[in-house]
Amino acid sequence: MDKRKIIIDCDPGHDDIMAILTALANDDRLEILGFTTVAGNQTLPKVTNNLLKVEEYLGLDIPVYPGEAHPLIRYGQPQPAAHGESGMDGPILPEPVRKPEELGAVEFYRQILEREEKVTVVALAPLTNLAILLARYGSLAERIEQIVLMGGALNGGNINKCAEFNIWHDPEAAKIVFDSGIPIVMAPLEVCYAGGIMLKEVERFNNDAPVSRLVYELLDFYCEYARKRNWESTAIFDLIPIVYLLAPELFESRQGRIEIIREGEDTQGQTVFTEGDGPHTVLVDTERRRCIDVFFRAIRQLDRRYS
Ligand code: RIB
Ligand code: CA
């Protein structure tokens, strides 16, 4: 089977790392051409450093291209309540020796898209890098086979009344990307909640295998938000696009068009979906147990690989 070539655009972020680990475990199906980072959950230097720390912990050698440090026209608004001051609080990992690439994210996209026929972008963060790519090199849009992204909400937001964080953080960028005509698969909040992890399931990672240990320390911090609210489960948001790429049959979806609302205290970043003809697929539901099993299997696989 041909491997699908992907670029992961991210702001690690606990859930970004869960997505990345799941992709790495499935390297017979997904080939990660590179990581691009963007300001989102925390500042660009912090999220880039977080990814490099994890790379170093695992001994990975996948290039990390730093992208945009700010949304297109707004101020960045990091979210320490969810991910801590570092953007990836929990595990104590050494400072990485490894450095990010000197080439920026947008130029990396240009180079790859000029030479590869088909690339899928997995976007797990605000869409600033992709918007700049499309504004600068619009003719390369047709080289992007698909964008599979975590973002958006159908029935209420997690950052204001209507919007999900990644879209809200840079709605101007999201509008450029959603209006580009590129086929987009959107995993909104609702499908991420449907495919969430039970808090008691996190205990399965409380062991000494190297990847489980990392996952446990990350999820233990990440779940604090849910524990404080007495939730029994929590979404590992960014995991869902990767699970979709590996097992699309687990998802119920709708086809149509998404409009991005840019203004309004309650509506900045709202994703308004109209079913019908259109380039956008919205994942609306999944079977929780089978969905989270893809993640559990991936971590078992990595534990075997790294033990
Ligand atoms: O709303 C969830 C998104 O915001 C995820 O991408 C998560 O990593 C946070 O940045
Ligand atoms: Ca993210």
**Whole-Å CA distances, 20 to 39, 201, 241, 258:** 17, 20, 11, 26
**Is any ligand 1 atom within 6 A of the Cβ of residue 11?**
yes
CATH number for the domain that contains residue 11:
3.90.245.10
**Is any ligand 1 atom within 6 A of the Cβ of residue 150?**
yes
* DSSP state letter for 42: S
In angstroms, the CA 159 to CA 167 distance is: 10
Predicted pLDDT at 87: 97
For residues 273-291, give the mean pLDDT. Answer: 98
In angstroms, the CA 199 to CA 179 distance is: 38
Count how many Cα atoms sit within 13 Å of the Cα of residue 31 in the half-sphere of its side chain: 9
Write the residue with the smallest CA distance to atom 1 of ligand 1.
Answer: 165
Which residue from 11, 20, 234 has its CB within 8 A of the most atoms of ligand 1, so it is best to mutate?
11
Predicted pLDDT at 2: 85
Which residue from 10, 14, 15, 17 has its CB within 8 A of the most atoms of ligand 1, so it is best to mutate?
15
Q: State in Å: Cα 16 to ligand 2 middle.
A: 5
pLDDT band at residue 194, thresholds of 50, 70 and 90? Answer: very high
Q: State in Å: Cα 149 to ligand 1 middle.
A: 11
**Is any ligand 1 atom within 6 A of the Cβ of residue 190?**
no
**Is any ligand 1 atom within 6 A of the Cβ of residue 237?**
yes
Rg (CA), the chain: 18
**Is any ligand 1 atom within 6 A of the Cβ of residue 166?**
yes
pLDDT band at residue 117, thresholds of 50, 70 and 90? Answer: confident
Q: State in Å: Cα 85 to ligand 1 middle.
A: 15
Spatial neighbors of 117 by CB under 8 A, at least 6 apart, are: 143
Two tokens, residue 275:
């079913």
Domain containing residue 262: 4-306
Is it the case that residue 45 has pLDDT exceeding 80?
A: yes
- Global pTM reads 0.98
SS3 88: coil
pLDDT band at residue 219, thresholds of 50, 70 and 90? Answer: very high
Query: What are the start-end ranges of the H helices in the chain?
Result: 14-25, 44-58, 80-83, 105-115, 128-136, 165-169, 171-178, 189-194, 210-222, 224-228, 239-246, 288-306
**Is any ligand 1 atom within 6 A of the Cβ of residue 68?**
no
User: Hey, how many other C-beta atoms are within 10 angstroms of the C-beta on 29?
Assistant: 14
Q: State in Å: Cα 229 to ligand 1 middle.
A: 18
Predicted pLDDT at 109: 98
Q: What is the pLDDT of residues 69-108, one digit of tens each?
A: 999 999 999 999 889 999 999 999 999 999 999 999 999 9
For residues 35-44, give the mean pLDDT. Answer: 98
For residues 177-184, give the mean pLDDT. Answer: 98
Compute the 3-state secondary structure of the chain and give helix, strand, coil in percent, each to the nearest 5. 45, 20, 40
Which residue from 21, 77, 165 has its CB within 8 A of the most atoms of ligand 1, so it is best to mutate?
165
Please report the atom of ligand 1 found closest to the CA of residue 82.
9
Q: Say if CB 199 and CB 227 are below 8 A apart.
A: yes
Predicted pLDDT at 34: 98
- Share above pLDDT 90 across residues of the chain, in percent, rounded to a whole number: 97
Is it the case that residue 1 has pLDDT exceeding 80?
A: no
For residues 247-273, give the mean pLDDT. Answer: 98
Our count of domains for the chain comes to 1
pLDDT band at residue 192, thresholds of 50, 70 and 90? Answer: very high
**Is any ligand 1 atom within 6 A of the Cβ of residue 170?**
no
Q: State in Å: Cα 97 to ligand 2 middle.
A: 24
